[in-house]
Amino acid sequence: MKTLSRREFLRLLYLMGLGAVGAGTLLEAGCGPSGSPATPTTRAVGSTPSPFPSSLPTGTLPSTVAPTATLPGTATPLPRTPTPPPATGQAYLAVARGGSPAAITRAAIAALGGIERFVKPGNDVIVKPNICSASYSYEYASTTNPEVVATLVTLCLQAGAKRVRVMDSPFSGTEATAYARSGIDEAVKKAGGEMERMASMKFVRADIPQGKDLKNWPVYQDILKADVVINVPIAKTHNRVRLTLGMKNLMGVVEDRPLIHLNLGQRLADLTSLIRPNLTVIDAVRILTRGGPSGGDLSAVQKLDTVIASHDIVAADAYGATLFGLTGDDLEYITAGAAMGLGQMNLKALKIEEIRLN
């Protein structure tokens, strides 16, 4: 073996170092805390939550895993700032009924002070509907009404938003199929918005300072960085927490979803304290009264032609519960969220504007 000059030796050392760092990063990214390649936190591509949790019901995943924390520009993002309550005299929560999905959506937003209260010119807006599966079209009331979503996109663009992205992460089916079958893909593109596939490279570990159970969870970073987040759930029953409304809809932007189901009520409140959507618009054009959240039985669908809107996600969910004959007290995540100060669940104390269009 020929002897190396000093320069050649240093160069070799430098290259080996780079190679080791690169290989280390790739290996670390591919292997989770338990060292096996299939742990959920850093699973490569996944539109559905991964089945192999590295640990069971603790709120934090082991701290040894932080594949992105060591590189520059990767400080964990902060929780979002919620929209402040409206000026006195203005509606805290609006409910519009009896018109086309587009008309009632517009009416509800107008009653809250117009979209300009939430979206300023040049804003980067994300609209987060429920596109949970590719199995059924929107008439089955398992995914958000496309007209409601498209109306919100139009309103945001009219208010001068720089761009409006619409996204969700289905628990079954691919994004492409789910986006298409829900009708949202077509409606959003016609309205001038963009559909985005939530790539796994954009999920980052975020600290949840207010979290009582969850202290830290992988979240889609664009949600935390966006200027405006509009949460557009569809109202459905759910056999674990009775109803899935606004707070449950936030699950679409986090990873490791099977783990969240253990102590779901408190964990949803914790996630809400991180994500704090600026506006929650509950699509109750059709509601799913049983067999949720996946749906499939048309006889379980009730057409209510209703839209509920508020800056306060807890209040919106509390009102949504009344559509099913329940109150906020019946839903664990609402009581947990109210206890954490994330919103108001006592509807009697709020200024609610009810609008009938027909």
Partner 1 sequence: MTVRRWRLLRQVSQYLSLALFLGLFVATVRDVSLLLPNDLYFRLDPLVAIASLLASRTLRVELALAALTLLLALVAGRAWCGWLCPLGTVLDLLSPGPPRQGQPRGLPLQATTRVAPTDGWRRVKHWLLFATLGAALLGNLTLLVADPITIIFRTLAVAVQPPLNLAITNAEKALYPLGPLQRPLEWLENTFRGNLLPTQQGFYQLNLLLALVFVGIVALNWLAPRFWCRYLCPLGALLAWPTRLAWLRPRAKETCTRCGLCAPVCPTGAIGVSKEAGFQVDASECIMCLDCQVKCPQKAIVMRGDWRLSPAQPHDPTRRQFLVSLGSALAGVALLRTAPTAKSDSPWLIRPPGARKNNLLDKCIRCGECMKVCPTSGLQPAFLESGWEGFWTPVLVPRLGYCDYSCNACGQVCPTGAIPKLSLEEKRQKFIGTAFIDRNRCIPWVDDRNCIVCEEMCPLPQKAIVLEDTEVVNSKGERVLVRRPKVLRELCIGCGICEYQCPLNGPAAIRVGTFYGVTSEDYARLGASRQEASRQVAGSR
Q: Return residues touching partner 1 (CB under 8 A).
A: 25-26, 29-30, 38, 42-49, 51-54, 56-57, 67-68, 71-74, 133-135, 171-178, 181, 197, 199-202, 204, 238-240, 258-259, 261-262, 264, 290-291, 293-297
Min dist CB 152 to partner 1, Å, is 23
**Distance between CA atoms of residues 138 and 145, nearest Å:** 6
C-beta of 140 vs 319, nearer to partner 1:
140
Return the DSSP state at 172. B
C-beta of 257 vs 352, nearer to partner 1:
257
Q: How many angstroms separate the Cα of 16 from the Cα of each of 2, 21, 70, 99, 324? A: 19, 9, 19, 67, 63
C-beta of 68 vs 327, nearer to partner 1:
68
Cα-flanking dihedrals φ and ψ of residue 21, to 5°?
Answer: -60, -45
**Distance between CA atoms of residues 222 and 268, nearest Å:** 19
Min dist CB 17 to partner 1, Å, is 16
C-beta of 111 vs 288, nearer to partner 1:
288
C-beta of 151 vs 221, nearer to partner 1:
221
DSSP H or E run through 236: strand 234-238
* Other residues' Cβ atoms within 10 Å of the Cβ of residue 237: 19
Task: Identify which of 120, 39, 80 has the alpha carbon closest to the alpha carbon of residue 221.
Answer: 80
Min dist CB 6 to partner 1, Å, is 32
Min dist CB 65 to partner 1, Å, is 12
Phi-psi region of 35 (alpha: psi -120 to 50; beta: other; left: phi over 0): left
Min dist CB 141 to partner 1, Å, is 12
Residue 356 bridge partners (DSSP): 97
Return the DSSP state at 350. S
C-beta of 32 vs 246, nearer to partner 1:
32
Q: How many angstroms separate the Cα of 42 from the Cα of each of 98, 228, 279, 293? A: 46, 27, 31, 27
Min dist CB 3 to partner 1, Å, is 28
Min dist CB 158 to partner 1, Å, is 26
C-beta of 3 vs 299, nearer to partner 1:
299
C-beta of 190 vs 197, nearer to partner 1:
197
Contact yes or no for 220/203 (Cβ under 8 A): yes
Min dist CB 173 to partner 1, Å, is 5
Amino acid at 189: K
Rg of the chain's alpha carbons, rounded to an integer?
22
C-beta of 297 vs 354, nearer to partner 1:
297
Amino acid at 45: V
C-beta of 293 vs 343, nearer to partner 1:
293
Min dist CB 5 to partner 1, Å, is 30
Task: Identify which of 346, 311, 321 has the alpha carbon closest to the alpha carbon of residue 244.
Answer: 321
DSSP H or E run through 6: helix 6-30
Min dist CB 178 to partner 1, Å, is 8
DSSP string covering 278-329: SEEEEEEEEEE-SSTTT---GGGEEEEEEEEEES-HHHHHHHHHHTTT--GG
